[in-house]
Structure 1
Amino acid sequence: MPNSYFQFKQFKINQGQCAMKVSTEACLFGAWVQANSAERILDIGAGTGLLSLMLAQRFDAVIDSVEIDEGAAHQASENFKESPWSDRLNIHHKDIQSFAESSSIKYDLIISNPPFFKSSLKSLSSTRNLALHQSEGLSASTLSVVIDKVLSNEGKAFVLYPEYESQLFSLEAKAKNLFAKPALIVKNQPNKGVFRIISEVQRNDFDAIPEQISIRDGKEYTNEFVGLLKDYYLHL
Structure 2
Amino acid sequence: MSNPYFQFKQFTVWHDKCAMKVGTDGVLLGAWASVRNAHRILDIGTGTGLVALMLAQRSLPDANIVALEIDEAAAGQARENVARSSWKERIEVVQVDFKKYQSSAKFDVIVSNPPYFIDSLGCPDQQRNSARHNDSLTYEDLLAGVAGLLAEDGTFTIVIPADVADRVKMIASAKRMQAVRQLNVITKPGGIPRRTLITFSFANQECIVEELLTEVARHQYSKEYVALTREYYLNM
Give secondary structure in 2 for the equivalent of 1:233: coil
Report 1:31-180 matches (<5 A): 31-60=31-60, 61-99=63-101, 102-118=102-118, 135-180=134-179
Tell me if structure 2 keeps the 8 A contact 1:160–1:166.
no
Give secondary structure in 1 for the equivalent of 2:52: helix
Tell me if structure 2 keeps the 8 A contact 1:45–1:68.
yes
- 5+ residue gaps in structure 2? 121-132
1:26 is matched with which residue? 26
| 1:175-203: CA deviation from partner (whole Å, max 9, x where unpaired) | 22221355111110131011100011111
TM-score by length of 2: 0.89
Query: 1-side partners of 2:86 and 2:147: how far apart?
Result: 31
2:2 is matched with which residue? 2
Q: Alpha-carbon deviation of 1:204? A: 2.2
Give secondary structure in 2 for the equivalent of 1:87: coil
Query: 2-side partners of 1:41 and 1:107: how far apart?
Result: 6
Q: Which runs of 4+ in 1 moved over 6 A?
A: none
Tell me if structure 1 keeps the 8 A contact 2:114–2:160.
yes
Query: 2-side partners of 1:71 and 1:217: how far apart?
Result: 37
Q: Structure 1 pair 29/152, CA: closer, same or farther in 2 (3 Å)?
A: same
TM-score by length of 1: 0.89
- 16-25 vs 174-183, greater mean Cα deviation: 174-183
Question: Cα RMSD over matched residues?
Answer: 1.5
Query: 2-side partners of 1:171 and 1:31: how far apart?
Result: 25
Tell me if structure 2 keeps the 8 A contact 1:170–1:181.
no
Identity rate, percent: 38
Q: Alpha-carbon deviation of 1:64? A: 0.2
Query: 2-side partners of 1:42 and 1:88: how far apart?
Result: 12
1:123 is matched with which residue? none
Q: Alpha-carbon deviation of 1:25? A: 2.4
Tell me if structure 1 keeps the 8 A contact 2:179–2:207.
no
2:129 is matched with which residue? none
1:191 is matched with which residue? 190
2:124 is matched with which residue? none
Query: 1-side partners of 2:64 and 2:104: how far apart?
Result: 15
Query: 1-side partners of 2:137 and 2:179: how far apart?
Result: 17
Query: 2-side partners of 1:3 and 1:231: how far apart?
Result: 22
Instruction: Give the letter for the 1:211 counterpart.
Output: E
Alignment length, in residue pairs? 221
Give secondary structure in 2 for the equivalent of 1:16: coil
Q: Structure 1 pair 182/166, CA: closer, same or farther in 2 (3 Å)?
A: farther
1:12 is matched with which residue? 12
Query: 2-side partners of 1:34 and 1:107: how far apart?
Result: 13
Give secondary structure in 1 for the equivalent of 2:194: strand
Tell me if structure 2 keeps the 8 A contact 1:182–1:197.
no
- 5+ residue gaps in structure 1? 121-133
Q: Alpha-carbon deviation of 1:166? A: 2.1
